[in-house]
Chain A
Amino acid sequence: MTAESLVFFFLAAFAVTTAVLMILERSPLVSAIYLIANFFALAALYLLLRAQLLAVLQIVVYTGAIMVLVIFVIMLLNLGNEARTRARVDPRTGVTFVLAAGFLAEIVYAVLTRGGAGRPPGAPPESLGTVESMGDALFGKFLLPFEVTSLLLLAAILGAVVLARRRG
């Protein structure tokens, strides 16, 4: 067991645990905190995978912006905890778990039987996901999507402002 594998298993366990706790928790605020922890784990996994810029962006954008926004909204709307029991048993819950389990089984089966699971020819370079190489890609090959994304963000800003405005 190399150090890398150990770190991977630790991070993996942490991520899965926080995810499960998130969906089971009744308080929305605590769920948000669990999700933030999950994102931290993912950021670390990105670092393992030589995606340095993305790891940082994960923290900055996902946890620092999106989750902060979510927490703002939760607090703004002053939401309480979800009701514990429901009037009657919902059959959708059963279907959900079957579905989720089935989906998981499918993917695992695909991954394990379809190859590409073994070791790759060589290790990726350390500088695979650095700022420089990402910058090269974004302003080179992927310039158009990059520019279009800015339009998308503009549209999103306008949409958010219009939708959340008070009438009158």
Chain B
Amino acid sequence: MTGAELTGLAVLLPLAGFLLNGLLGAKLRSEALSGIAGSGAVAGSFCVACTCFVQLLGLPPGARTIDVPFFPWIAAGGLHADVAFQVDQLSVVMMLIVTGVGFLIHVYSIGYMHGDPGFARFFAYLNLFIVAMLILILADNFLLMFLGWEGVGLCSYLLIGFWYDRKFEKGTTADAAKKAFVVNRIGDFGFLVGMFLIFVTFGSLRFQTVFSQAAALQVGAPVATLITLALFLGATGKSAQIPLFVWLPDAMAGPTPVSALIHAATMVTAGVYMVARCSVLYALAPASMAVVAVVGAATALMAATIGLVQNDIKKVLAYSTISQLGYMFLALGVGAFSAGIFHVMTHAFFKALLFLGSGAVIHAMHDEQDIRRMGGLRSALPVTFWTFLAGTLAIAGIPPLAGFFSKDEILWNAFARGSWVLWLAGVAGAGLTALYMFRLVALVFTGEPRWEKGTHPHEAPPAMTVPLLVLALLSAIGGFAGLPESLGGSNAFERWLEPVFAPAAEKMALVGFPGAFTEYLLMAVSVAVALAGTFLAYAWYTKRTDVPGALVKKFSGIYRVLLNKYYVDEVYDGTVVRPAVKIADTLLWKGVDVAVIDGIVNGLARAAQGAGDALRRVQTGVARNYILVFLTGAFLLVGWLLVR
């Protein structure tokens, strides 16, 4: 069987893992079995992904699309949606990332979740997530992709609220899970509207059909703008951009492997993947592209400012994720689709690494997450420290680690294809990224210990440290896949994805790229900014540790705004949540449900009862009267027949 046909197996293996752990896990009570089954399933999927990749390599570049039909699903009137996969360059890349990083996180979870009573349930949910994510990536039509989209949303909900009886901030973890689900729902509404418009415009939901027909549309067609904006709303929900990013920081209520897998490496990139997949449609709507780019840049900058002042280790990483996703959308918005996907890959490596590392720290500190109570962990957790440092270097964009190449590619394209304003926002964000990430490293790992005496932090078990090491290696060398030509490379990553984005490239006006000198200059600027941020963090948090405190006092107003995340949650609560609840309570529940619907149902019952009550008096029990009535009726009937 060819690799492409094995994609069915890639989905079925984690599904089997889900069923095994879900149905039998509680009875078997074996961590080894659950962990190996769950991780093994994903390993199998990764092997399938590699096989697909090799198979595609064997094909000529223009023909690297394989359709794998499974079975017809919906055939209703004009709507045909089948369960079928499309294995091409883009989906293979995503598949490798998801299964590869997913496998490492599964192995890590064996160590992290050790001793947890819901161990099997955790692996069941993780496997189910892989199933849904793979369906999302591999689908060959919008409807199947939406199925995967909803599936990952469901798994996100299940996993955020995994410790369902634990308190979290102002509520419980279940509240955080609900928030994630509801906010995503708003985005899904956008996705659905986009799907409806696509079906009405193109008569089909299949990618290949829609995209080939789209080529016939004019650039700037209003329908394309509508579709792409609607789809982008869905992307902002799933990928936590303005205005629907509020769920991601709350999602940190879930276990750390969940944050690593879902809220860093894979699910949140679904929006990026979706926009990239629809590159042709976006190329037809320059207005939408501008929206995407501006939203991306704004989110990147805003989230970075919030992350600067957070004190929970996972919150910092959460806002960092939002910020990095903003960079990906910035890339997509200016037409650099493969740069966006490249950043997806490198981000998956280093963000997963950072989250897993933070998990090791939390594990060592016995569930302490406030960085003000950490410090000096470098000697106690050496492996964690060095891998975390590697991840931080990568995210800050220090060459030659992976983050530099992808981020630089984005900034370069933002300058060349977008505008210098976008570039400046990106650079500022990059500087802030370096600043807050090294702040994190400094406060957690260096300096004097600020934790209680009896904590005894110790290094994590091998199940946790080996994935850290692998991810650190990938963060270090992963960038070379996209080494640009200006630095002597062959830009392999972009070349690989080129055929996927070729129709879009055709549509976009050919931009005259500034020369190589500008490219080097900009590269130097971004490196300099990153180094400046690093140095500043070093200065403020290791040497002259009084400076941050002084700055906080001087700019206390700004500080408070940043600490409270620009009060976005509160605004939403007041303008959207509370009115909705009020309407639901007074109008819809008491007004419609109780009064009208219950009224009708109860009224019908009462009417039947009343009618029965009235009619039963006919039964007098006197037999002779009954006979009288018979004969009277017969008499009248015959009379009627006579006069007819």
Contacts and interface: CB of A to CB of B under 8 A. Distances in A.
A82 B624 CA distance: 16
Contacts of A96: 628
Q: For the side of the interface on B, what is the size category?
A: 10 to 19
| Chief secondary structure at chain B's binding surface | helix
A106 B642 contact: yes
A106 to B, nearest CB: 5
B631 interface: yes
Interface of B: 624-625, 628, 631-632, 634-635, 638-639, 642
A109 B643 CA distance: 11
Contact of A109 (B624, B634, B642): B642
A106 B624 contact: no
B635 A92 contact: no
Contacts of A102: 635
Contacts of B625: 92
B631 A99 contact: yes
B633 to A, nearest CB: 11
Q: Would you list the 10 A-B pairs with minimal beta carbon distance, nearest first?
A: A106-B638, A103-B635, A99-B631, A102-B635, A99-B635, A110-B642, A106-B639, A106-B642, A99-B632, A92-B628
Contacts of A107: 638
Nearest to B631: A99
Given A103-B634, A103-B635, 12 more contacts: A92-B624, A92-B625, A92-B628, A99-B628, A99-B631, A102-B635, A103-B631, A106-B638, A107-B638, A109-B642, A110-B638, A110-B642
18 contacts: A92-B624, A92-B625, A92-B628, A99-B631, A99-B632, A99-B635, A102-B635, A103-B634, A103-B635, A103-B638, A106-B635, A106-B638, A106-B639, A106-B642, A107-B638, A109-B642, A110-B638, A110-B642
Contacts of B628: 92, 95-96, 99
A95 B624 CA distance: 12
| Chief secondary structure at chain A's binding surface | helix
B637 to A, nearest CB: 10
Interface of A: 92, 95-96, 99, 102-103, 106-107, 109-110
A53 B212 CA distance: 91
B644 to A, nearest CB: 12
B48 to A, nearest CB: 70
A92 B635 CA distance: 16
A99 to B, nearest CB: 6
Nearest to A95: B628
Contacts of A99: 628, 631-632, 635
A87 B269 CA distance: 98
A96 B635 CA distance: 12
A66 B631 CA distance: 25
A103 B635 CA distance: 6
Contacts of B624: 92
Nearest to A102: B635
A92 B623 CA distance: 13
A110 B631 CA distance: 18
Contacts of A103: 631, 634-635, 638
A61 B634 CA distance: 28
A99 B627 CA distance: 12
Contacts of B642: 106, 109-110
Nearest to A103: B635
A95 B638 CA distance: 17
A103 B642 CA distance: 12
Contacts of B631: 99, 103
A93 to B, nearest CB: 11
A92 B628 CA distance: 8
A95 B632 CA distance: 9
Contacts of A92: 624-625, 628
Nearest to A90: B624
A139 B638 CA distance: 35
Contacts of A110: 638, 642
B61 to A, nearest CB: 82
Nearest to B632: A99
